[in-house]
Every structure is written in C-alpha cells, then in structure tokens.
Amino acid sequence: MRIIIIGAGSLGLMYAARLAAGGASVAMITRGEKQAIALRDGICLDKADRQSISGPVPAASLDQAGSLLQPSARDWIWLTVKQAHLNDAFMDKLKDSGLLAGEASLLALQNGIGHMERLEAAFPGNPLYAAVTTEGALRVNERHVRYTGHGVITFGKWPKGAEKDRNPQKMLLKTLYAAGIEAELSNDMGNRVYEKLLMNAVINPLTAIYGIRNGALAEDGRLKEEMAALHAETEKILLASGMKADSNSWQRLLQVCKQTAENESSMLRDVKAGRTTEIDWINGGISLIARRQGLPSPLNDAVTTAVKSLSMS
Ligand code: KPL
C-alpha cells in the first residue's frame, strides 16, 4: 500500500515526512518539477526541539505522475491542496494524469464544504473518503516543514453508508499509528466535516482579520466575545442544517486554540502570502446554508467581506 500525497504544502509535507519516517511507502505530487527534484533528497521535519530528515521521497509533478507511479486499488491518494485549487482545470488535470485510473482510494483533506460533492461527481470509480485534521504545520521551504500543533486526523467513507469493505481504512489506520500519527475512523464524516467547519469558521477568519496566532484569540476578553458570537451564529445555522448538537463544542474550540496556540491559521498564512483564501468555502459556505434555511448570517457575511478585502489589499 502506498500513500500518494497531492499537494506539497504545509499539511502534505508534514504528513509525508512523518509517514516516511514511520516506514510507510509515500510519494508526493508537486505543482512543479523543481520541488519534485528537491523532495528526492528527503523532507526535513522540525518537531518539538528535534530536526529529522526522511529518506528520499519519490515525487513528480501532476503531468508526469500517472505514468511514473501507476497507483492500483491498494493505494491511497491524499488530496491536501487547498479548496481554491480544486477548480475545473485542476480536476481535468487530475483526470488526465491517470492517477485515479487504477481505482485507488481518494482521501480529501480540505477545510470547508462543497469539495466532497464535486469529487464524488468527478471520480465515481474511486472509493472516496473525507478527512478532517486538527494538526498544525508550517511549510518553511519546498522540502522543510515545521510541526506546529499536535492534533488528530479523522477519516471515513463518503457518503455515509457507501462502504463495502472496511479493510482499506483499517490498513491506513495501522500505517498512521505506526508513524505515531493520532488517527480515528468515523462512520459519520458528514457530521465531522460540519464540526470542523464550525471550528474553522471561527478561528480562521478572526485570526486572519486581526493578524494573530490561534492561541492569542482565546486569551483576550474582547476577542473571546467576538469568537463566542461567531460560534453561536454558525452553530445555529449548522444545527438547522443537520449537524448533531454537541454541548462541548465551545470548549473544544477553545481547546483547539490552545493545542495549536503557536500556529498561524491557514487563512492568516494565505492572507499574508497574498493567496486566495478558503473563505468562500468556509464562512461563505455557511452564509449559503443560512440562506437556504432562511436564517440570518450577519457575522459570517461580515467576516467573509472583511477577509476578501484583506486578500485584495
Ligand atoms: O484547520 C486549521 C487551519 O488553520 O486551517 C486549524 C485547526 C484552525 C489550525 O490552525
């Protein structure tokens, strides 16, 4: 079983480095040939006070990947690119690459909503899995990544109930454990995606707007009030849309801020780097759900507008 990771950004590099160090067979698909060549010297991982370098990681750009790697039904393809990259052009390139022709399992690790339905429609022949993670990582350069926050990756079949064989999931779980990666299986990923969405809808826009790390959000009284208001509005909308009630959700949100205290959220990093953020798929997605439910979403609308104006400035 191989794990082929498409997207050599922070999360992709962090998981590839840890999996490779744990003895898993890993390959990476990069945007360009230059990074693919660099990765063949291994990935440098900073974890706590230690730095380690994995063995060479086979890597190729998407254009070359299918013929080089030829994944089979036993392999996993992890999609760690951001939502903004999952546009029609990327989907066409992925189809043309042949990477998914051998019916490999496809695991999607995007923040926000909307991507699973698009992947399901584009790749009906591949077992599809949704995943959410609360781990933090920061890309230092094209082959160097810092592990910035311990968390857990949760994954499961999409859509719910579509699984015929749980063995591939169990195999993947075993491989993750062997690499010291905290992981869990879920048979209710729809709800997990909503729970993660609720977290991202509060932490990501506020850290991006105020330019602060995750930990700083929960330390300031006024910011905590803003967090609480955005959390309450978002939770109400998602509950109306079918998310299961969870009386601990506010506490869990504070816990993620604490666990990833030193982390800059992915949205803050996107804003700083002048990249398209995931705001349309996070708070924009929530505003869309609210409209369908006939609910107001003034705070989600406001942070969407604010983050968009930041990314344009
Ligand atoms: O998912 C994240 C993100 O930054 O996108 C969190 C969990 C908030 C960690 O930073």
The tens digit of pLDDT for each residue in 106-122 reads 999 999 999 999 999 99
Ligand 1 mutation target, pool 132, 182, 202, 214, most atoms within 8 A of CB: 214
Residue type, 79: L
| E strand or H helix that includes residue 130 | strand 128-133
Read off the pTM.
Answer: 0.92
Sign of CA dihedral 64, 69, 73, 76: negative
ipTM reported for the complex, 2 dp: 0.97
| Residue carrying structure tokens 């905590």 | 224
What pLDDT sits at residue 162? Answer: 61
How far apart (Å, rounded) are the C-alpha atoms in residues 266 and 208?
9
3-state secondary structure of 125: coil
**DSSP character at residue 108:** E
In terms of residues, how long is the chain? 313
Question: In angstroms, what is the span from residue 204 Cα to ligand 1's centroid?
Answer: 7
pLDDT of residue 163: 67
**SS3 breakdown of the chain: % helix, strand, coil, rounded to 5?**
50, 20, 35
Is residue 200 lining ligand 1, measured as CB closer than 6 Å? yes
CA 158 – CA 134 distance, rounded (Å) = 19
How far apart (Å, rounded) are the C-alpha atoms in residues 53 and 280? 36
Mean pLDDT of all residues belonging to the chain: 93
Query: Would you call 272 a catalytic residue per the annotation?
Result: no
Report the CATH architecture of 2-187: 3-Layer(aba) Sandwich (3.40)
Instruction: Round to whole Å and give the CA distance between 306 and 226.
Output: 14
Domain ranges of the chain: 2-187, 191-312
Check if 256 has its Cβ closer than 6 Å to any atom of ligand 1.
yes
pLDDT tens per residue, range 149-182 = 888 999 999 987 666 777 889 999 999 999 999 9
199 closest CA partner among 226, 149, 234: 234
Residue of 82, 164, 196, 224 marked catalytic: 196
Residue 297, pLDDT above cutoff 90 = yes
Instruction: Give the residue from 159, 144, 172 showing the smallest Cα distance to 78.
Output: 172
What pLDDT score does 219 carry?
93
CATH of 191-312, one of 1.10.1040.10, 2.60.120.260, 1.10.10.2160, 3.30.360.10: 1.10.1040.10
pLDDT digits (tens, 9 = 90+) for 197-227: 999 999 999 999 999 999 999 999 999 999 9
